[in-house]
């Protein structure tokens, strides 16, 4: 899990990330005043070997090609 956490936390604008793999959920905190493109988070997750089915950011759902 360290690998996925580290990958997401390396995305510019991400302050902290925590994952619950049993539930298939992640919580990501953003640095104050920074914005992060959902595609960047998706790419970090995929690069860690995970294939998310969706991202929900502030109530908006994003889906990208698997």
- The contacts of residue 20 (CB under 8 Å, 6+ apart) are 26
Tokens representing 2 are 């360290």
- Those residues of the chain that have pLDDT short of 70 are 1-2, 66
Q: Which of left, alpha, beta for 62 (phi over 0: left; psi -120 to 50: alpha)?
A: beta
pLDDT in the model for residue 1: 58
Read off the DSSP letter of residue 52: -
Instruction: Give pTM, 2 decimals.
Output: 0.81
Quick one: pLDDT at residue 2? 63
41, two tokens: 């988070």
Angstrom distance (rounded) from CA 3 to CA 35: 23
Domains and CATH numbers, the chain: 2-62 (3.30.70)
């Amino acid at each position: 899990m360290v690998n996925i956490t580290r990958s997401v936390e390396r995305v510019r604008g991400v302050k902290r990330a925590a994952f619950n793999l049993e539930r298939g959920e992640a919580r990501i905190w953003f640095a104050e005043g920074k914005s992060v493109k959902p595609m960047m988070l998706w790419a970090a997750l995929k690069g860690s070997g995970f294939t998310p089915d969706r991202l929900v950011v502030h109530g908006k759902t994003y889906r990208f090609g698997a």
